[in-house]
Amino acid sequence: MGKRVLLIEDEPNIIQAISFILSRDGWAVDTHADGRTAMDEIARRAPDLVILDVMLPNRSGFDILADLRADPAMQALPVLMLTARGQTRDREMAERMGASRFMTKPFANAEVLEAVRELVAT
């Protein structure tokens, strides 16, 4: 069985597209759409990588990232942040808070795939 990716995103059609391209590449993809319960889901699924949207219902992706980095068991988990707010300020904040990679929407499918491969290989 391939490595596991947990996609935390609330746009159903983005979820379908990313799930498709990753599954086709051999990844096992789980999805989750709510910010408030995202930490529980990460703990339950124990993925090899998390793709995390910033603007989620009920809780921001930045807050989830902060919790992940504060938890010794999750500190090393690769996190690819996705956001529609491509401002420098957001990028800097993501880097400061320990995001492994930061991509702005709209992104190219190939870039997402490449980033996932690189982050899990390292």
Partner 1 sequence: MAIGTLTGSRIRERRTLLGLKQAGLAKAVGISAAYLNLIEHNKRRIAGKLLTDIARALQVEPSVLAEGAEATLVTNLRYAAAALPDIGAEEARAEEFAGRFPGWATLVAAQRRRIGHLERTVEQLTDRMAHDPHLAASLHELLSTVTAINATASILVEPGEIEPEWRDRFHRNIHEDSQRLADSSQALVSYLEATGEETRSTGTPQEELEAWLEARDYHIRAMERELPVDADMLVRDAPELTTAAGRELATAWLNRYRRDAEALPLAAFQKTAEDLQWDPGALVEHFGTGMAGILRRLATLPTPRGAGRIGLVTCDGSGALTFRKPVDGFPLPRFGAACPLWPLYQALGRPLAPVRAVVEMTGRDRRRFLAYAVAEPVGQPGFDAPPVFEAVMLIVPGDRVRIPEERGLAVGTSCRICPQRRCAARREPSILAEAG
Contacts with partner 1 by CB under 8 A lie at 11, 13-14, 16-18, 20-21, 55, 84-85, 105-109
The SS3 call for residue 8 is: strand
The residue among 21 and 28 lying less far from partner 1, judged by its C-beta, is: 21
Nearest residue (CB) to partner 1, 73 versus 108: 108
* Residues 39, 43, 45: CA angle, nearest 5 degrees: 115
Q: How far is the CB of 105 from partner 1 (least distance, A)?
A: 4
Q: Which of 14/74 has CB closer to partner 1?
A: 14
CB of 73 to partner 1, least distance (A): 31
Angle subtended by helix axes 88-96 and 61-70, to nearest 10: 20
Min CB(63)–partner 1 separation in Å: 17
- Name the region of 90 (left: φ>0; alpha: ψ -120 to 50; beta: rest): alpha
- Please identify, using beta-carbon distances, which residue of 107 and 120 lies nearer to partner 1: 107
